[in-house]
Amino acid sequence: MAEQQNQNQNQVVEEDLNHLLKVRREKLAELQEAGKDPFQVTKYDVTVHSSDIKEHYDQWEGKEVTIAGRLMSKRVMGKAAFCNVQDLKGNIQSYVARDSIGEEEYKEFKKLDIGDIVGIKGTAFTTKTGEVSIHAESVDLLTKSLQILPEKFHGLTNTDIRYRQRYVDLIMNPEVRDTFVKRSQIIKAIRDHLDGQGFMEVETPMLVANAGGAAARPFETHYNALDEDVKLRISLELYLKRLIVGGLERVYEIGRVFRNEGVDTRHNPEFTLMELYQAYTDYHGMMDLVENLFRSVALKVLGTAVVTYDGVEIDLSKPFERISMVDALKKYKDIDFTEVHTDEEAKALADKYHVSYEARHKKGDILSLLFEEFVEEHLVQPTFIIDHPVEISPLTKKKPEDPEYTERFELFITKREMANAYSELNDPLDQIERFKAQEALLAAGDDEANSMDDDFINALMIGMPPTGGIGIGIDRFVMLLTDSYAIRDVLLFPTMKSLDK
């Protein structure tokens, strides 16, 4: 019985919706027949945005203003009405009186629908209740909305629809718009900071024959003109290092990379990565650089280096902790990995703590697995985890005093990896052996392993100076500074499964 009632209610709602959509089409047809087709409007001269009038009212009071935006509400009271228009920077109320805009124009105004895009010219004033408003002299319909926006007070809350219809999400949820405005500001602040440090921004190929520089499964496609299979890049690293070989001592790139992996709150198959390389420095220099970068960008965009994420205060103003992966495991789980000397002992330790691993895994792989299982959850405040095992660091210089480990760090904040950096391996003979080890893993079924890159080896043979390099996930950085839980919340158009699937 209840199911039948729900079906009947849904049918009534659908019929009402179809009627409202039909009415909007009829209004458009009437306008077109009267020679007032809004879709023939090509421009409208805007002089100011809503928030500018509100924030600098003393400069605009009594002066003529012209705004344009989306009609979000309308309240008609006989010969006068109030409406609210939303533009890029916010919204503002407008008082529309028949005697001010004309009788015919007022009739047309009353026919406007929520969602229509309008231009309003008038004078800035404050109402009796003290609200900054515009006393309209003219109202022009610039675009007729033929679809209905979500109900005003509930907004758009269904996350699936929000991600699929980001344009509606931006209209209905001002905090979403603010997130993406901040995203743009964050990227600009990163560029400004690096440019000020003497770095040069460059661009490298997205379609590559050999997708290297990270442990990830690539997307594959076919290049018709060359009749060759190619891959979408998973990293920016190997081409940027070629530029260091070529004598460009400080380079960076901010660009899309693509990894054929799962989708969750921290991962999207395509995401934005910033990688930079600096000649004549090491991973300690990279730690200094990234710490200063995070602090500088937060101050510039948010005005503070102390940010709140998921209710927890994250202090970017203090020096970031620096601790080795081995010491971190000792600190948080009381496991002393210095007592582990063989692959067999490492696997026995994993068995003891019920940590899964694969037969091909070696001692260093087990350390990484134990770290992920027992340490990451504790890394809320900014922490550099340094000195990673060589098995998981195929492009990194070994520590001269302990060649089982490498000069590598990952930056963790809010339990998430935010950056990955090395003292870059520049010994071509060592790099050949590392690539061979990676190819053995590839042959053993590890589809995230690298393969030999002969041209990159040739570049190293020419000679690459001692170099520090770093990769920063821009999306996760934006998540941190905008207090966003999921990566989809900071991507305008995240990857979504097709509805017809």
Position 115 pLDDT exceeds 70: yes
What is the band of 120 on the pLDDT scale with cuts at 50, 70, 90? very high
Neighbours of 475 (CB within 10 A): 22
DSSP string, 343-385: HHHHHHHHHHTT----TT--HHHHHHHHHHHHTGGG--S-EEE
Annotated binding site for Mg(2+): 410, 417
Position 498 scores a pLDDT of: 86
CA 19 – CA 431 distance, rounded (Å): 68
Which amino acid belongs to residue 466?
P
Per-residue model confidence (pLDDT) at position 3:
63
Please compute the mean of the pLDDT values over residues 157-177 and round it to a whole number.
90
Confidence category of residue 216, pLDDT binned at 50, 70, 90? confident
**Edge-to-edge strand ranges of the sheet holding 228-232:** 207-208, 228-232, 220-223
Q: What is the mean pLDDT of residues 361-381?
A: 97
Summarize the confidence of residues 199-203 as an average pLDDT: 98
Asked whether residue 1 carries a pLDDT value surpassing 70, the answer given is no
pLDDT digits (tens, 9 = 90+) for 125-153: 999 999 999 999 999 999 999 999 887 54
pLDDT at 116 over 60: yes
Total-model pTM: 0.90
Q: Which helix (H) or strand (E) holds 323?
A: strand 321-324
Note the pLDDT tens digit of each residue in 217-248: 999 999 999 999 999 999 999 999 999 999 99
Q: Which two tokens stand for residue 169?
A: 């999400």
Task: Decide if pLDDT at 202 tops 80.
Answer: yes
Say yes or no to pLDDT of 8 above 80: no
- Lowest-confidence segment of 149-153, 172-176, 275-279, 471-475 by average pLDDT: 149-153
Neighbour tally for 128: CB within 10 Å: 5
Q: What pLDDT sits at residue 460?
A: 97
User: In terms of Cα–Cα distance, which of 179, 163, 174, 173 is closest to 481?
Assistant: 179
pLDDT band at 499 (very low <50, low <70, confident <90, very high): confident
- Cβ atoms of 383 and 415 within 8 Å: the answer is no
Q: What is the mean pLDDT of residues 184-200?
A: 98
Inter-CA distances, 247 with 175, 241, 421, Å: 44, 10, 21
Annotated binding site: 410, 417
pLDDT tops 80 at residue 157:
no
> CA 239, 244, 246, 248 torsion: positive or negative?
positive
Least trusted range by pLDDT, from 26-30, 120-124, 140-144, 216-220: 216-220
Residue 7, pLDDT above cutoff 90: no
- Strand 467-473's sheet: what is its strand order? 200-201, 250-258, 270-279, 467-473, 416-423, 408-413, 383-386, 321-324
Rounded-to-integer distance, Cα 459 and Cα 241, Å:
9
How many residues would you count in the chain?
Answer: 501
Interatomic CA distance for residues 236 and 165, integer angstroms:
31
Mean pLDDT computed over 459-476: 97
Per residue in 415-467, pLDDT (tens digit) is 999 999 999 999 999 999 988 988 888 888 887 888 889 999 999 999 999 99
pLDDT of 501 reads 58
Q: Does the pLDDT at position 328 exceed 60?
A: yes
Q: Are 471 and 422 in contact (CB under 8 A)?
A: no
Distance of alpha carbon 339 from alpha carbon 342, whole angstroms: 10
Q: How many CB atoms lie within 10 A of CB 462?
A: 10
Q: Does residue 149 contact residue 24 with C-beta atoms inside 8 Å?
A: no
What is the percent of the chain with per-residue pLDDT over 90, rounded to a whole number?
A: 84
In degrees and rounded to multiples of 5, residue 193 shows phi and psi of -65, -45
Q: Tell me the average pLDDT across 472-483.
A: 97
Question: Residue 258, SS3?
Answer: strand
Specify the pLDDT at position 159: 82
Residue (of 115, 112, 111, 110) closest to 151 by Cα position: 115
Confidence at residue 153, expressed as pLDDT on a 0 to 100 scale? 42
379 contacts 413 by C-beta, under 8 angstroms: yes
Q: Residue 5: pLDDT band by 50, 70, 90 thresholds?
A: low
One-letter amino acid of 421: A
